[in-house]
Structure formats: C-alpha cells, structure tokens
Amino acid sequence: MGHKSSHPNFVLATCILASSLAFVDGSVTNVGLPAIGQSLRADGADLQWVINAFLLPLSALLLLGGAAGDRYGRNRLLIAGTLLFAIASALCAVASDLPLLLLGRGLQGVGAAVLMPNSLAILGASFSGEARGRAIGIWASVGAGMAAFGPVLGGWLIDVVGWRAIFLINLPLAAGAIVLALLYVRDSRERERPALDMPGGLLATAALGALTWGLTLGTGRSGWTSLAIAGVIAGALLLLAFIAVEKIRGDRAMMPLAMFGSASFVGLTALTLLLYGALGALMVLLPYVLIEASGYSGTQAGMALVPLAVVLALGSPLMGKVAGRIGARSPLTIGPLIVAAGFFLQLRIQAPTDYWTQVLPAMLVLALGMVGAVAPLTNAVLGSVDSRHTGSASGLNSAVARTGGLIATALLGNVLGARDEALMSGFYTAIIVCVVACMAASASAFFLITPAARK
C-alpha cells in the first residue's frame, strides 16, 4: 500500500485538476460539434470521429496507463500524461482541417489514458478507510462539476470567440496540475514492479478500434455494408484474442482475469458499461438536438447540462459516505433505476422544446439517480479486488466507462446525420435504448454485487 501524504489536500487538488482535463474536454467538445461541423465542413460520421478519436485511445490505453504507473511511478506518469494532453490541446486549437483535429484529439486521448488512472491510484494510495471514501467523493463531485461547468464556458466561448478557444481552456488547468504534482505529490509505485503487458495493450486497442470503426460505418450514411460488418467481426475476434492472451499472462496481464473471480467485480463492470454508455449517449445527443432542432445557442445548450452536474457535485460526497456505511449494493441498484426514469422523461422533449417544462425535470431526476451510482461505484470497485489489483481495477473500470461512451457514440451515426423529423425520431429511439440499458445496469448490481463488497 502507498504512503500517507503529508499534504493530503494538495494531493487531492492535483488529482482533481489533472483528471478534470479529461472530464471537461469530453463535455465541452460535445457542445462544439455543430460549430466544428460547419467550420471544417464535416458531416455526421465525421463528427462521431471528433468524439471517438479521443475516446478510442482513452478506452484502450487506460489499462496500460495504470500498469505503467504501478511500474514507473504514478506521479511521473501523471505529469507526462498532463503535459501530452496540453500539447495535444494546443494542436486541436490550431488545426486547419479535420485530419489534424482528429490527430490532436487522438493524442489528447493518449494523454488522458496516462493521467486518469494514475490520478485515481495516487488518491487510493494517499488516503485510506473513510478518508478515502470522502476523498473519492470530493474527486467525483468536482470532476462532475467541472464536466458540467465546461459546456457552459465552452458554449459561451464558441458563441463569442469560436470553437478553437474550447481547447485552450485546458492549458491553464494542465499547468496548475503539473506545478502541484511537482511540489506536493511524492512518487509511489508498487514494490513488485509489474512488467508492462504490451501484447494485451495492442490487442485491446486494435479490438476497440475495429469495433468502433465498424459500428460508426454501420450507423452512418452507407449503412451496414460488408465492410462495416467485417469491422465488427474483426473487433469481436480481436477481443477474444485479447482475453486469451490475458489468460496466458495470468497475474502479469493488464486485465488480470482473476479479478473477474469476484462476482461483485463482474456486476460492477457490467453496471459501469451500461450506465456510462447511456450517459455518454446523452452528453452527445442532448446538446446536439437542442442546437440543431430547437435553435439553442452553444451557451444555452451547455447550460442544459448544468443541473446534472450541480446535483452530482452536491450529492456525491454525501453518497460516498453513506455507501461506505451501508455498502454499495442498495445505492447501485436504486440509482440506475432513477436514471432510467430520468431518461424516460426525455421522451417529452419536442422539436422546439421548452427548457423548464421538458428538459429540466428529466435532467434533475437523472442527476439524482447518478448521485446514487457515481461515488459508491468508484469506492466499491477499489474494494472488490485485493490491494495488488487496485491500479488495474480502477483503470479497467474507467476504461469500461469510456468504452460504454465510445460504443454509444459509434451507434449515433444515424441521429447525428439526421435533420428535422428524422433527428427527433432518432433521438427518441436512442433514449429508449438508454432506458433499457439503465434497467439492465440496476439488475446487474442487484444480482451480482454481494453484500461482502462493503469495504
């Protein structure tokens, strides 16, 4: 286990600043999609890649990022990842065409994959017991707050300065995180330095890449051509190869299959994929539909997501404590059901929509449900595996959350490419799928999480 820090608040601030880069960037870019589409003459399929070029390396490399931190020092990698993220953000801001923007987004994803798991691992090593629950609660709530404040600031910048400014927000955040990390975080790594699982990392990246590419093509203009189907099949086969390699590597794998010996961990992983998949779809779709179908400005569309974040920011620390006391199973069963109800209420959103009567009630209900899930989920994941695997487990859980968002975005091609009536009917279909996903997430918590996972 790691050392306890002599500057716990500064360590917490460092981890929050670093990981908020990934949170803010994800949510800000969603609001910028219509403006980026116009400026770089990109259609629905291209816009999916603006999101997925970031999510793909992030999902695929998070596990390697966590393992590399266990091996080479978490703080060192936190700083390296943050620096890469800042450089990539500057590249996005000056990109003159779509390929350059996608390259910048891809590099941001790599940077985020390195900094995210290490910021959580540093938190886990610097706090323990109830203090860890509290620290994770604060980390989750500020992350959520940043993710919500991001679109408002981003929407305003898009309206006033232009979409390029949204990538420049990251530079001061990154600078602050690097300075704090250099001053206050002592480097920690596991005593037994695990070897990096390069074959696993490459296979995971290739599998997610093929899968995303196939799904994006299949839901785009040309539909399910043989090329799209081949991409999905190749992704599935590569995924099986990845699992086979991890099995052979045993404890040296970046995703040790032994973790899945715990039913709770399996339940938590399924819940994460389903719940964050639904949330990822919403974060892309809602601002897009409000701007395209209801004529909202970027700022207004960003504001629409704020209630979600405010409720999460206020509720998460409290919920982290409650879950520490009563265990994760009840909040993780009830939370996603409330989220499902919040999604269901979005079916009331019409083409010219009224924010106060149609959008806000749905967002508030959805936010209450997410409060029940976010902090207890992170804490339960860290408690459901033995201490050797906490880096891998938190990395895998973040990776699964991003993969949920990645797959959800890859499936939205028809909606992002649609206009008017077709846009709204695509939106309703997506919302119903999200309702089902949230109900399945609740079921996986109820049936798989054992009362023993109360740590």
pLDDT digits (tens, 9 = 90+) for 150-198: 788 888 998 999 999 999 989 998 999 999 999 988 876 666 666 778 8
CB 406 within 8 A of CB 253: no
Residue type, 326: I
* CA-based nearest residue to 214, from 402, 42, 401, 411: 411
User: To 10 degrees, the CA torsion angle through 290, 292, 295, 301?
Assistant: 40
pLDDT at residue 42, as a whole number: 83
Greater confidence, 88 or 195? 88
pLDDT at 4 over 70: no
pLDDT digits (tens, 9 = 90+) for 217-247: 887 777 788 888 999 999 999 999 999 998 8
Q: What percent of the chain has pLDDT over 70?
A: 93
* CA-based nearest residue to 52, from 34, 37, 36, 30: 30
pLDDT at residue 344, as a whole number: 95
pLDDT digits (tens, 9 = 90+) for 300-342: 988 888 888 788 878 877 887 787 778 788 899 999 999 999 9
pLDDT at residue 43, as a whole number: 79
pLDDT at 401 over 80: yes
Query: What does each C-alpha distance from 154 to 4, 149, 290, 347 come to in angstroms?
Result: 37, 8, 15, 27
Greater confidence, 267 or 375? 267
pLDDT at 121 over 70: yes
pLDDT at residue 454, as a whole number: 41
Q: pLDDT class for 117, splitting at 50, 70, 90?
A: confident
CB 381 within 8 A of CB 140: no
* CA-based nearest residue to 396, from 115, 63, 117, 78: 63
pLDDT digits (tens, 9 = 90+) for 239-289: 999 999 988 988 778 788 888 888 888 899 999 999 999 998 998 889 889
